Amino acid sequence: MMPIWTKSGEKHAVTLLKVQDCHVLKYVPKEDSDGKTAKLFVGGKNVSPFHKTEAEMAIFKEAGVPRKQKISVFKVTDDAIIKPGTPLYAAHFRPGQFVDVTAKTIGKGFQGVMKRWGFKGQPASHGQTKTHRRPGAISTNKASKVYPGKKMPGKMGNIYRTSFGLKVWRVNTKHDIIYVNGSVPGHTNCLVKVRDTKLPTYKDCNKNPPFPTFFADGDEELPEDLYDEEVFQFTDPSVTYA
Amino acid sequence: RRSSDGEPAKFQPPPKPVIVDRQRQREERRFLSPEFIPPRGRTDPLKFYIERKDMIQRRKVFNIPEFYVGSILAVTTADPYADGKTNRFVGICIQRGGKGLGATFVLRNVIEDQGVEICYELYNPRIQEIKVLKLEKRLDDNLMYLRDALPEYSTFDMDMKPVSRLEHEEVPVNKLQVRMKPKPWSKRWERPKYNIKGIKFELPEKKMQEAQKWSQPWLEFDMLREYDTSKLEKKIWREVNEELKK
């Protein structure tokens, strides 16, 4: 995480996400995916091809791509279909876009009810016998049962969670890094799924993105760093209020 | 002059002048700002490389001088609510924290009997100028105890003139021992965990010995806490210097 300053002098915290060897693995057409949209399988970081069965390696062989650590599914409209085997780069996202980031949260293990659900617990003194962090009552007398889904102690973390509506401030095309506003679930160097926002407030914000994706062998020559209009670039002189 | 043999004395050439190579002396004195050294952790080194590129880029446009904890600085920032739109503050640097672009330093001064501390970010674009009025080091890395010291040790004139010093001289260490206000203090500075050498403790011997109860003499032998930065420092210093010369 890094600070980033705007031209008006405000500071925002930014998370760096690296796009490491992403390839499109498989295309599933509308009818097969039992829905109204087609599906695209995308694979992340490269790992060793050993320690995997032949059946699992079949997808990678068909696409002609080394084995990936994580495969995620993206629901895509018919005009955005990409051929399996194309690499995906960070320039797919442009500064000024809004993005949702999904990842597995940091696992905290078996945790009590105060940490897991934010219960208040009981006072530390004034006669409390052996009761300081317990849940207290779990149901009423009339119900005479405990409702399913009651908040109780258990394994906390290590589940998929999404942060919605994160602005992309800057994209580094040389090292394939996306600078995303705010924090992102997961520990440092964990695998993350980045997708265009589903929030209705930012529906009109994604103007002219590279569609269906940014192709590296195309005619477009991008500069090494793409900045949003409001971002203060370090090549400029210091900010002044005239 | 005649030698013992009676022959005229042989011509003795004058002694060779000693050439003091100022450039080499300047290069030998290396100073790498502490925020360049990455902390120990499991982060990808690529992140530190990218951050360093941004920091060097900012340093090319705006000069961040060399300073230590204990030096007196004058900082002018852009302020939209001040007349003249700039805000100048003079103070002694009591702490340098943070790594990378978020590096900060805290300046302290006493203005009209009110102690004021301002935490500035080194790479904030609103800073117009950082000027070192007096470059010196102190016995400690962290001068937070000045809050509990007598106010005369933290007062500095706002219109102080910069103290001139020669280029290649070593940075002077001010071995000042500061006198404190009566206890209670904000922190128990006599305890060995703070390891403060710059206070003149006027406490009774019994209190000083009682404070030694909290000493942890095994800490200096703990191998897992060792973080040797010498090689990293050399590599980063070379990289930073090459980039700044371009």
CATH code: domain of residue A49: 3.30.160.810
Same domain, A72 and A181: no
Query: How high is the pLDDT of residue A59?
Result: 86
Peptide bond into A148 cis (omega under 30): no
Which residue of A6, A233, A234, A241 is the best one to mutate when testing the B interface, meaning the one whose CB has the most B CBs within 10 A? A234
Strands B173-174 and B137-138: parallel
Kindly determine whether residue A175 and residue B46, on different chains, have CB atoms separated by under 8 Å: yes
A114 & A31 share domain:
no
Record the tokens describing residue A167, joined without a space. Answer: 């602005």
Q: Is the dihedral of CA A181, A183, A188, A194 positive or negative?
A: negative
Task: Out of A42, A62, A88, pick the residue that ends a domain.
Answer: A88
d(CA B122, CA B103): 6
How many CB atoms are located within 10 Å of the residue A13 CB?
12
- Taking the CA of residue A173 and the nearest CA in chain B, the distance in Å comes to 12
**Amino acid residing at A37:** T
Residues of chain B with pLDDT under 70: 1-7, 23-29
Per-residue pLDDT of chain A (242 residues; tens, 9 = 90+): 999 999 998 999 999 999 988 999 988 888 887 778 888 999 988 888 887 778 778 888 888 888 898 899 998 888 888 888 889 998 899 899 999 999 999 999 999 999 999 999 999 989 888 999 999 999 999 999 999 999 999 999 999 999 999 999 999 999 999 999 999 999 999 999 999 998 999 888 777 777 778 887 777 788 889 999 999 999 988 888 86
Instruction: Give B173's strand partners.
Output: B137
A147 in contact with chain B, both atoms CB, cutoff 8 A? no
The two tokens of residue B59 are 């340093």
Q: Is residue A234 part of a domain?
A: yes
Residue type, A162: T
B143 in Cβ contact with B94 (< 8 Å):
yes
Using an 8 Å CB-CB cutoff, list chain B residues near A189: 42-44
Domain that holds residue A39: 20-88
Predicted local distance difference test score (pLDDT) of residue B210: 94
- Note whether residue A230 is domain-resident: yes
Q: What pTM does this model have?
A: 0.86
Are residues A69 and A112 both part of a single domain?
Answer: no
Q: Which of A81, A84, A77, A79 is nearest to A36 (CA)?
A: A77
A7 and A37 part of one domain: no
Q: What is the C-alpha separation between B223 and A216, in angstroms, rounded? A: 48
How many CA atoms does the CB half-sphere of A240 hold within 13 Å?
10
Give me the domains of chain B, ranges plus CATH numbers: 38-53+64-160+167-245 (2.30.30.790)
Q: How far, in Å, CA of B42 to CA of B31, rounded?
A: 26
Instruction: Please indicate, yes or no, whether residues A68 and A186 belong to a single structural domain of this protein.
Output: no
Question: Does A141 map to a domain?
Answer: no
* Inside any domain, residue A144: no
Query: Does one domain contain both A167 and A51?
Result: no
Within this chain, do residues A79 and A32 fall inside the same structural domain, yes or no?
yes
A87 contacts: CB under 8 Å, gap ≥ 6:
A21, A22, A23, A216
Q: Are residues A29 and A75 in the same domain?
A: yes
Rounded CA-CA distance B125/B67 in Å is 19
pLDDT at B8: 73
Q: What is the pLDDT of residue A154?
A: 95
Domain shared by A103 and A169, yes or no? yes
How confident is the model at residue B2, as a pLDDT? 56
- Interface contact B126-A237, CB threshold 8 A: no
Bond preceding residue A212 cis, omega within 30 of 0: yes
Strand A87-88 relative to strand A22-28: parallel, antiparallel, unpaired?
A: antiparallel
| pLDDT score at A161 | 95
Q: Identify whether residues A166 and A224 lie together within a single domain.
A: yes
DSSP state of B245: H
Candidate from B44, B101, B124 with C-beta closest to A2:
B101
Residues of A in contact with B128 (CB under 8 A): 238, 240
What ipTM did this prediction achieve? 0.89
Question: Which helix (H) or strand (E) element contains residue A117?
Answer: helix A113-117
Which of B35, B51, B64, B124 has the most A C-beta neighbours within 10 Å, making it the best mutation to test the interface with A?
Answer: B124
Is residue A8 a part of any domain in this protein?
yes
Domain match, A3 and A76 both: no
> Among residues B117, B198, B58, B221, which one has the least CA distance to residue A233?
B58
Encode pLDDT of A121-166 as tens digits: 999 989 888 999 999 999 999 999 999 999 999 999 999 999 999 9
**B85 Cα to chain A: minimum distance (Å):** 6
pLDDT of residue A149: 93
A194 and A228 share a domain?
yes
State the total domains in chain A: 2
